[in-house]
Amino acid sequence: MAAATSTEVAFPLLSMMIVVPVVGALIIAVLSNRRPEYSKLVALLASVGTGALSVWTFANFDSHSSGFQFTSQHPWIESWGISWHLGVDGISLFLVLLTGVLFPLAIAGIDPHNDDPRRDKPYFAWLLLLEAGVMGSFLSLDLFLFFVFFEIVLVPMYFLIGGWGYEGREYAATKFFLYTMAGSAFMLVSILATVFIARDDGVGKITFDLIELAEGANFAASTGRWLFFGFAIAFAVKVPIFPLHTWLPDAHTQAPTAGSVVLAGVMLKLGTYGLLRFGLYLFPEASYWSRSLWLTLAVIGIIYGAIAATMQKDLKRLVAYSSVAHLGFIVLGTFAFTSQAVTGSVMQMVNHGVSTGALFLMVGMIYERRHTRQISELKGLQHVAPIFAAAFTVVMLSSIGVPGLNGFVGEYLILIGAFLTARWWVVVAATGVILAALYLLWAYQRVFHGEPDEENSTFAELRVKEALVILPFIAVIFFTGVYPKPMLERIEPAVNALIGHVEERTDFVEPQPAAPIVDDEVHSHGEED
């Protein structure tokens, strides 16, 4: 990340990824109430447009550069040293791509089921605003800008859960909003303190620019730790890291399907992404110093999430708790500080988005057909809907982390990488992989196996429209599982630069120096000994 900017493009590519959804939402807002059907069309066009931009970014991304690309910087609030500074690097690239692709799928494929067609308008408008907020968070290179986007995503999500959710939606939406906002309260103070303390400790002026702060600031260890924890609390709530996770099962379960997909797919990654971008990069000393805490909490999350998932009676809640476990792996990899583990973390962020997003999508389809999420009321669906069951199996296996599918690559890299620096934590965490197989396969067995009773015997097979939505997920699951190189080669330079940045500022030395990421566990293991 030392090389700050590499490519400047005349077309404000990244800004457009934020502006297009906002414009779409505004167009929907002024649409005539008599033509609600246009709102979906507008939403689709805006999100496909954004998705196309994100794909274009991916295609033109220079995979050899570790710095930020496609940067754009304009002064915004000059009095406070705040600028509209966007950029994308290997760490954020795939999250941006995931966001760009997930939203059109969620908009096209998931019907909000409004009794009153006029309610389509706000639904699609909120989804687009959500997309803009999420995109903005991943693209921001300015602390203020990031905070603004990080905070603004609460509003559309609150309305989506509250307006289109299930029976307990009021409670879930409010809890979600307040939990996250409480975390952000600490971050806001921390951001400001960072900026003012950095002014006196190395930066020399008031700026909220991430790169200037990270490269220039030279915090005293004790100061940096306080500041880091301010950030970390906000991200820990968002991830969520045990014991701050209690909002998640409620929000996930009560959210409408599109909300759950987006929540699991990209919004939780705001937390893990934030830990990397604003934790490790901005406060290397403090993150390294506190790694045992995070590793321990991550491992507790993995085991706790898995056990809690096993016990759930509600299918959607089960998937929600499985997220707690999966996110634990990502945190584990992040605080292992090795190139492999962090690369695995970044990859797992995307994988989790794809597989858990797809799981929520399919659970939503089950709910649409049967109007229940209770595992005990579902039985023998495999008999009546074999294709549906097959698709579910692939998604589920990807979530478990079966070799050949995407989940395996990420989890494997995390465990391998973390083994060098956090051996005993990895030993415990590895059992989480087995537990994942336990809760998911057991749930699958109860829902899909056996003879369907009367109510389940009319369960409809996967429809063409649904298949078209689920197919991209399955394609990504297989492709990444078999050929992860396009991802890894783009993520790795940025991750190596980040690890280098940490090494520069702490006494941490990565156990195994920059080596190709694949085929080296034997070698590095030997070195560790």
Partner 1 sequence: MVAQDTFIGPSVDWFALSPHLVLVGGALFLMVVGALTPAWPRNLMSLTTVGFTVAAAGLSVFIWNDIGAEGPSAIVGGVLAVDRLSLFLTFAVLAATALVALMSDAELRGTDNDGPEIYSLLLVAATGALVMVGANELIVMFLGLETVSLALYVLAASDRRRSASQESGMKYFILGGLASAFFLYGIALLYGGTRTTSLTDMVTRLQSQVNIGGNDALVLAGLALMLIGFAFKVSAVPFHVWSPDVYQGAPSNITAFMASVGKVAAFGAMLRVLTSALPFYRDDWRPIIWVLAVLSLIVGSLLAVVQTDVKRMLAFSSVSHAGFILVGLEAAGLSAGENAMFSSVQSVAVYLGLYSVLVVGSFAVIGVAGRGGDTTLDGFNGLSSRRPTLALALTVFLLAQAGVPFTSGFVAKWGVIQSAVDAGSYWLAVIAMLAAVIAAFLYLRIMVSMWLRPADDNAEAVNVPGLSGIAIAGAAGFTLAIGIYPQWVLSVAEGILSFA
**In Å, how far from its chain's centre is CA 310?**
23
- By CB under 8 A, residue 467 contacts partner 1: no
Of 173-181, 304-312, 354-362, 401-409, which segment contacts partner 1 by CB under 8 A? 173-181
The Cα 20–Cα 519 span in angstroms is 42
User: Which residue number, 151 or 520, has a Cβ lying nearer to partner 1?
Assistant: 151
| 2 makes contact with partner 1 (CB under 8 A) | no
- Does the footprint of partner 1 cover residue 158 (CB under 8 A)? yes
- Nearest one of 154, 121, 156 to 40, comparing CA atoms: 121
- Taking CB under 8 A as the criterion, the residue among 4, 152, 375, 384 binding partner 1 is 152
Q: Quick check: 215 binds partner 1 (CB under 8 A)?
A: no
- For 519: left if phi > 0, alpha if psi spans -120 to 50, otherwise beta; the answer is left
Residue of 322, 362, 315, 319 whose CA lies nearest to 473:
362
d(CA 193, CA 195): 5
For the chain, give the number of residues: 529
Cα gap 402→408, rounded to integer Å = 5
Q: Binding to partner 1 (CB under 8 A): which residues in 68-127?
A: 76-80
**Separation between Cα atoms, residue 318 and residue 312, nearest integer Å:** 5
By beta-carbon proximity to partner 1, the closer residue of 205 and 465 is 205
- Of the candidate residues 103, 138, 149, 444, the single one contacting partner 1 (CB under 8 A): 149
* Rounded Cα distance, 376 and 442, in Å: 12
- Shortest reach from residue 337's CB to partner 1, in Å: 29
Residue 27 engages partner 1 in binding (rule: CB under 8 A): no
* 189 part of the interface to partner 1, by CB under 8 A: yes
Task: State the burial class of residue 113 (Cβ atoms within 10 Å of its Cβ: 0-12, 13-18, 19+).
Answer: exposed
* CB closer to partner 1, 191 vs 308: 191
**For partner 1, the closer CB: 76 or 442:** 76
CB of 374 to partner 1, least distance (A): 24
Identify the residue among 181, 303, 428, 438 touching partner 1 (CB under 8 A). Answer: 181
C-alpha span between 63 and 310 (Å, rounded): 40
201 touching partner 1, by CB under 8 A:
no
> Looking at 38, 56, 166, 186, which residue binds partner 1 (CB under 8 A)?
186
Look at residues 160, 294, 174, 290 and name the one whose alpha carbon lies nearest to residue 225. Answer: 290
- Cα dihedral 20, 21, 23, 25 in deg (nearest 10): 170
Q: Which stretch binds partner 1 (CB under 8 A): 98-106, 144-152, 405-413, 503-511?
A: 144-152
> Rule CB under 8 A: which residues touch partner 1?
76-80, 144, 147-149, 151-152, 154-155, 158-159, 162-163, 169-170, 173-174, 177-178, 181-182, 185-186, 188-189, 192-193, 196
